[in-house]
Structure 1
Amino acid sequence: MPVKRLPPNPSLDHLKHQAKDLLKAHSGRDPGAAQRLREFHPRFLNTADADIFTAALKLSDAQLAIARERGFLSWSRLKSHIEMPEPSDQINLPRHERIKDSVFRRAVDLLDAGDVAGLCDHLKLHPGLARQRVVFEGVNYFRNPTLFEFIAGNPIRHETMPPNIVDVAQTILDAGVEQVALDETLMLVATGARPRECRLQVPLIDFLCRQGADPSSALQAAVLHEELEAATALIACGGRITLPVAAGLGLIDDFNRLFPSASSEQRHLALTMAADLGHFEIVKLLLDMGEDPDRYNPVGGHSHTTPLHQAAWRGHDNIVRLLVEHGARIDTKDLLWTGTPAGWARHGGRKEIEAYLLAQEAKKN
């Protein structure tokens, strides 16, 4: 789920009220509250709604969830950001402009310039820099990257990437990169618009996989973000096709082969991806096999919405009607902008779908 960005002049009192509202919603067994706690409170990760509702919840728990929903690790960090902001706390700045460490910032500048020789000298002058991390708050990803992860250009920092980015990556790799950074970089490359636009996505994927990055670790995210060229490259590098991947790519034979042994979590995500990417036959199979169309999507899969929101926004008319026929609620609001599926259809310019959903809502009322 994307984080809720703080406004230019955030009010701590307003955020305190939000925490109290979350407590009330939890007491009222609101599915949206359960989804937010599952995503943003570490105690409730992968916890079912019923177990979240029976758990005791204190104000401090709600405040932690609100802080993480805004992209901060703790309530105290959020409070500090509001009461004593630093220049590096300007969330709207590109990531490299928020780096306080001048040595790390210099390394990123050399990376972005494609200056292999300068970067090599800089890394020799500062041993351990390749394994160092910087912290960004107020964001939903790229929160604690190493230098290596900056090669992905995701999030976007500049209009272009250096054409010799593979050589730049090799320079940092020679200085020492941990496996977790290698895999995270692969995921960022595989889901990034800028490397694709610069025709560097596939060369970087091939390079990273040759260096030991796990292609399976990025495949699901690539499909979810509809980076299909990246997904093809990852599969060619040995990426394993799972049920959600098969559902997202419309691979019906693989889907049928994998379904019997798939976990409930995989089936849930498979419905999300098939509905989002427009694979009617797979959506129908999942619904016929008992998958619930009325839940929020799982964490890591557009979790602020339902399958109906995504299908309506994308313009998949046949899937929208299928989901409604199988009991998907048309009045569920997303957790970021509080829009109904009809509102998402309107935002996507899908006038016929909007009219259909509004007619169904009127009929129900």
Structure 2
Amino acid sequence: MSLRTRAHPGPRKGFNPPFNCSTSNHSLPGIADRRAYKEGFPMSTAEYSGGLSPRRQLPDNPSREYLRKEAKRLVRLAAAEGRPTTLARVQHEIAREYGVANWAELGRTIVGAQVASVLREAVACNDIPHVVRTLDARPELLRPSLWPAAIFQAKSLEMTELLLARGLDPNQCSAPRKSLHFAVDRKRPDITAALLRHGAKPDVTDGEGFTPLDLYAGLAGGYGPTDAADRENVALLLAAGAQPNLWTWIRLAETERALAILRGDPELIHAASPDLGFLPLHVAARMADVVLVQYLIDNGADVNAGENTALWFVCQSGADPKRRLRVMEMLLRAGAQVNRACEENSTALHYAAWRGPVAVAELLLSAGAQNGAMDDSGHRPVYYARHSPVLAPAEKAPMLALLEAPRILDPAFSAAVTALDAGDETELRRLLRAHPGLSTARAEEPGWYAGQYFRQPFLLEFVAENPVRKGSLPGNIVDLARAIVEAGAPREAMDKTLGLVASGRVARESGAQAALLQYLVSAGAEPSCAVRAAASHGEFAAVQVLLELGAVADIVTAAALGRVEDVERAMAKAGEAAPQELEEPLHAAIRAGQLAVVQCLMDGERWHGSAVPVSKEIMHAGTPLHHAASFGQLEIARWLVAQGAPLDARDRQYNGTPLGWAEHCKQDAVAQWLRTP
């Protein structure tokens, strides 16, 4: 668990001071609450003081010296603000903030906290002699906060038995989890047995309502008891009287017990678990329990029920891959929605790409999964395959190959794309003669690679290398395009290809963009259908070529080229246009560095309700300032800030500030200015 804290600035002496000190409206030291966690387990000030309810908490090793200096600083600050006070009063208020009656008691509390902290460290290090000496001298320090250190950190049976012998209650703990949870989590049946002998309750629940047996629920990545220690822990808990519910039996891989409960009470098929609200089918799918999943489907379980579906659960599961595939097939046959958006708009394919194996992703794609689907973070499944820490090394390359390119099912079409990529005009023409329908056919590409704009592409569209597949074009790409056009490519294919060439960087970087545009227009493509895409993507050389070829500039093109009068005419003609209709021209103007156009489009007094507000997100992510920062447009960024653009605004897709966008895009000049505007 992370500490949401920040180290105190500058050098200091003594132990850790309270964090982020400041003054409140009542001259009290509004010391930001630092939850005193050690390895993720909290310990409250009330443990030390036993007094008032604290509004602030001490760190693990608090320093009275630091607090004394802080009190003096607050006295000086109050005097400077015309609110004189005394040191004694400020010290008294600080003590009350920490839940004790006065400054002297706070000093004793700090000493106790320091001794207790050292004791916990000794327990965690399994230092039996030190613990014995400390508890002999200070028996009041025998507290529930020692359980995490003894079991979770030290994993020591000897230390556990020492604390039990001293009378520490195994059912009490300052952490959300209890001592039995730690023993089960650490796979220590010997410690489990000792705790149960001393009265630990086998069904004790943690802060989220989970029993020790529920730790096998996959909450920490587990999928039922997996080794001898797990099985021994389960046996000990059951023998001590633990009473698992239906969902726990499923998580324990006890299929027959779960079936017996369901047969006795069929209504449970549609019931949600008392902990996380999972349906039996969700848990059975995550456990890849083939028998139980089939039973639930046969008896009316809804395969698409819940925020997260059973198909989503089995794809994120770490259970046996062969069983997972069988469960997926059952769910798909029963009507599972393969592209259903679940938690954070992730789909089953997102998790299949992250977890693997490749066969799971292949099954989803064959059922119509879209590998162009984006989740709330703006990531496609291939992103998770590329960055997965759990995908097997041998699976990574084939998974990326599966998700990084269109999935073409027709062998002849696939062979033609291969010939095109290789620059083999002879082979391409041979294939076109052997398969006369290739030039007019669309690739059966159920994955929607790159999303809607490249769905079921014509063969000619692969000429553009947009979306990027190989990153380059062969030198004879115009001849290859000519071969496909001469074989009968339809006008629709030429228009779409023209737009892809005009808006793609690979054609430009390969030196073929202008030649391809000229050829496609000469073959019958309409230049006006591509000019907007070129302007929106910053391909301004392509814009000029298309205009020379007869394209008519629309408002986006005019904005990118800085034609303010054309933009004004388009605005006047549109009348009361909604602000979202101006997002694309505004984005194009920002990208091209056309400040005058930006000022025109955002002129609220002139255009009234049509102008784009300075704080509005455009193009689905980021304010105008975000985009100016990402494109390195310092002059536009300065103007936007002067108009009130918020520097701390965060976009919905990446949760980044304009400064973050500038840094990510390596726009150093804008980033430097945004740090000190």
How high is the TM-score relative to the length of structure 2?
Answer: 0.40
Of residues 235, 241, 250, the one that matches 2:547 is 235
Tell me what 2:587 maps to: 272
Tell me what 2:511 maps to: 199
Give the Cα–Cα distance (whole angstroms) in 2 for the partners of residues 96 and 309 of structure 1.
30
Of residues 374, 394, 400, the one that matches 1:92 is 400
Number of residues of Structure 1 aligned to a counterpart in Structure 2:
298
Tell me what 2:596 maps to: 281
Tell me what 1:114 maps to: 423
Q: How does 1:301-312 map to 2 (within 5 A)?
A: 303-312=620-629
* Aligned-pair CA distance for 1:190: 0.8
Q: Deviations over 1:248-288 (max 9, x none)?
A: 11123322333311344543322222123211111112222
* Aligned-pair CA distance for 1:95: 5.8
Q: Deviations over 1:302-341 (max 9, x none)?
A: x322211110122222322322333433333234322111
Give the Cα–Cα distance (whole angstroms) in 2 for the partners of residues 97 and 132 of structure 1.
12
Distance 1:161 1:346, change over 3 A: closer
Q: Deviations over 1:194-220 (max 9, x none)?
A: 211222111110111122222122111
Q: Deviations over 1:57-100 (max 9, x none)?
A: xxx99x75569977xxxx67778877822298766338668434
Code of the residue aligned with 1:314 in structure 2: it is F
Give the Cα–Cα distance (whole angstroms) in 1 for the partners of residues 648 and 547 of structure 2.
38
Q: Secondary structure at the match of 1:149?
A: helix
Give the Cα–Cα distance (whole angstroms) in 1 for the partners of residues 581 and 623 of structure 2.
16
2:432 equivalent to 1:123 = yes
8 Å contact 2:425–2:479 — kept in the other structure?
yes
Q: Secondary structure at the match of 2:497?
A: helix
Give the CA RMSD over aligned residues. Answer: 3.5
Q: Secondary structure at the match of 1:85?
A: helix
Give the Cα–Cα distance (whole angstroms) in 2 for the partners of residues 120 and 138 of structure 1.
26
Tell me what 2:612 maps to: 291
* Aligned-pair CA distance for 1:233: 0.7
8 Å contact 1:223–1:248 — kept in the other structure?
yes
2:632 equivalent to 1:315 = yes
Q: Secondary structure at the match of 2:646?
A: coil
Of residues 123, 132, 145, the one that matches 2:442 is 132
Tell me what 1:255 maps to: 567
8 Å contact 2:662–2:671 — kept in the other structure?
yes
Segments of structure 2 that go 5 or more residues without pairing to the other structure are 1-284, 287-303, 309-335, 366-370, 372-397
8 Å contact 2:349–2:361 — kept in the other structure?
no
Tell me what 2:654 maps to: 337
Higher mean alpha-carbon deviation, 323-332 vs 234-243, is at 323-332
8 Å contact 2:537–2:588 — kept in the other structure?
no
Tell me what 1:24 maps to: none
The higher relative CO (CA closer than 8 Å, separation ≥ 6) is in: 1
Q: Percent sequence identity over matched residues? A: 34
2:536 equivalent to 1:224 = yes
Code of the residue aligned with 1:105 in structure 2: it is S
Give the Cα–Cα distance (whole angstroms) in 2 for the partners of residues 125 and 108 of structure 1.
15
8 Å contact 1:287–1:326 — kept in the other structure?
no
Distance 1:139 1:67, change over 3 A: farther
2:657 equivalent to 1:348 = no
8 Å contact 1:243–1:266 — kept in the other structure?
no
8 Å contact 2:536–2:587 — kept in the other structure?
no
* Aligned-pair CA distance for 1:102: 2.2
8 Å contact 1:67–1:78 — kept in the other structure?
no
* Aligned-pair CA distance for 1:128: 1.6
Give the Cα–Cα distance (whole angstroms) in 2 for the partners of residues 279 and 228 of structure 1.
13
Code of the residue aligned with 1:181 in structure 2: it is A
Give the Cα–Cα distance (whole angstroms) in 2 for the partners of residues 67 and 138 of structure 1.
22
Tell me what 2:483 maps to: 171
Of residues 152, 155, 162, the one that matches 2:474 is 162
Give the Cα–Cα distance (whole angstroms) in 1 for the partners of residues 666 and 472 of structure 2.
31
Code of the residue aligned with 1:139 in structure 2: it is A
Q: Deviations over 1:39-62 (max 9, x none)?
A: xxxxxxxxxxxxxxxxxxxxx99x
Give the Cα–Cα distance (whole angstroms) in 2 for the partners of residues 151 and 351 of structure 1.
36
**Structure showing greater Rg:** 2
Code of the residue aligned with 2:596 in structure 1: it is E
Q: Deviations over 1:102-152 (max 9, x none)?
A: 221111122223333322221222232222323134533533212111111
Distance 1:194 1:268, change over 3 A: closer
Distance 1:64 1:236, change over 3 A: farther
8 Å contact 2:593–2:636 — kept in the other structure?
yes
How high is the TM-score relative to the length of structure 1?
Answer: 0.70
Q: Return the structure number with greater helix share.
A: 1
Give the Cα–Cα distance (whole angstroms) in 2 for the partners of residues 163 and 351 of structure 1.
36
Tell me what 2:112 maps to: none
